[in-house]
Amino acid sequence: MQEPNKMPQKVEQSRNTPMSQANTAYGDSDTISEIEELSEKVESANLPIGLREKALKMVNRLRRMAKFGSYSGEYELIEKYVDWVISIPWAKYSEDNLELANAKELLDRNHFGLTSVKIRILEFLAVAKLNPFDQVGVVDEGYEKMAKMKEAHHAPILCFVGIQGIGKTSMAKSIAQALDRKFIRISLGAMGSVTDLKGQSRAFLDAEPGQIIKSLVRTEVMNPLILLDEIDKVSESEGRRADINATLLEILDPEQNPSFSDSYVDYPVDLSRVMFIATANNLSTLSAALLDRLEIIRFSSYSDEEKEQIAKHYLFPKVLKASGLRQEQIEIAESVWPMIIRPLGFDAGVRQLERNIKQVCRGIAKQVVEGKADKFTITPENFREYLPADIGVYS
């Protein structure tokens, strides 16, 4: 006999819910104190007017229920909801650094090549500098005023496409650093439900906001840079993938995200100032409607010449610092770099190349600690001592 489908358990919200022994009648000072403390939280928070009124109605309902000795079942649920909504950084924005020279210097310092990506970011900064957003501290003067602000320009919604290890995530971090924006990553890999993004209704036990609202809470600003990582690797189920793509459309569409609705918060949240960047290995699983909202920037594979420049000027200094070695303690002959890059560590990206450099530095660090020498030169004759033939991916 087939077992019937189990529906999520709904929260009982009856006025006849019996009080726990720990709770007493309405006149009890502890009961009054708990409810008044909740009311003060709402009153003191910088909430939108409509949301404040909604939360205060919930608190007043608690007062009425406490009068009849049955408020305990509702208190924890309302307290949890209030704690979440007052944690959302309504009207708190970090100030963007729109200096093009600063952004160009930082992007060039952190990344070799990727010229088209850098140009696109500098173009966005230029537009934002000429036509900046009006920084306002009010959350609710109706959405008409906020809509007028957003007619000027939107943060670009970029999608970095390329194979693994090519620098998509690190570029997103550098963009956040250049803009002085908070950075947070949401992994979409194998995500199987829209509730992960949009939250779950308060009618269900253990309901919470989705990852978008949680990202705002964690960064404590309404305009962070949110990386939607592996946007092409959501659930393999066609139905669930379609639902998640539709939710992503609501999040990323400039016409919809000013009034994004999280199922738990149940109040419009403005995401128009968030800068979204998505990453993907390929675009075959994304809907046409979603692709229409994304600015696709392709990351091509690195050539051996590019890898050598990245290894010398970006990876090697970083690995040296992490390993505790000094620049003067290790010298790598020019003829060794091609041998490290290929066939050892051959891949389209630079992850294996970085692992190879780490392997060399670890071997030298061991010899330094053992007191064998204080300076080492890696040559074609001895590099196998530090990078054995069985390490790396062969072409």
Structure tokens, 309:
């420049």
The pLDDT assigned to 284 comes to 85
Mean pLDDT of 24-45: 72
The Cα–Cα gap between 132 and 153 comes to: 8
And the tokens for 230? 């592996």
Rounded CA gap, 273 and 182, in Å?
12
pLDDT per position as a tens digit, 234-257 = 866 666 778 888 889 889 988 888
Chain centre distance of CA 242: 22
User: Which pLDDT band, with edges at 50, 70 and 90, does 219 fall under?
Assistant: very high
The answer to whether the CB of 107 falls within 8 A of the CB of 118 is yes
DSSP letter at 221 equals S
Nearest by Cα to 166 from 276, 285, 310, 295 = 310
Q: What digits encode the pLDDT tens for the residues 144-163?
A: 444 444 444 566 789 999 88
- From CA 277, how far away is CA 172, in angstroms rounded? 7
Q: Kindly report, residue by residue over 59-76, the tens digit of the pLDDT.
A: 888 887 777 666 666 778
Is residue 379 helix, strand or coil?
coil
3-state SS assignment for residue 336: helix
CA 306 from centroid of its chain's CA atoms: 29
Residue range 328-346, pLDDT digits in tens: 888 889 988 888 887 555 5
Cα radius of gyration (the chain) = 27
Identify whether the C-beta of residue 329 lies closer than 8 Å to the C-beta of residue 373: no
Pick 17 or 185 by higher pLDDT.
185
Q: Taking the model in full, what pTM does it have?
A: 0.78
- pLDDT tens per residue across span 294-316: 989 888 878 888 888 889 888 99
Q: Is the preceding omega at residue 4 within 30 degrees of 0, hence cis?
A: no
H helices of the chain, in order, are: 29-44, 49-67, 72-87, 100-110, 115-130, 143-150, 168-179, 195-198, 211-219, 238-252, 288-293, 304-310, 316-323, 337-341, 351-369, 383-386
The answer to whether residues 275 and 254 touch, using CB atoms and an 8 Å cutoff, is no
Binning pLDDT at 50, 70 and 90, where does residue 114 land? confident
Closest CA to 90 of 124, 156, 42: 42
Q: What is the pLDDT of residue 104?
A: 92
Instruction: Look up residue 203 and give its two tokens.
Output: 């009618």
pLDDT tens-digit map of 128-138: 888 765 444 44
Mean pLDDT, rounded, for 37-45? 86
pLDDT category, 3, cuts 50, 70, 90? very low
What one-letter code names the amino acid at 385? Answer: E
Sequence-separated (6 or more) residues with CB below 8 Å from residue 21: none
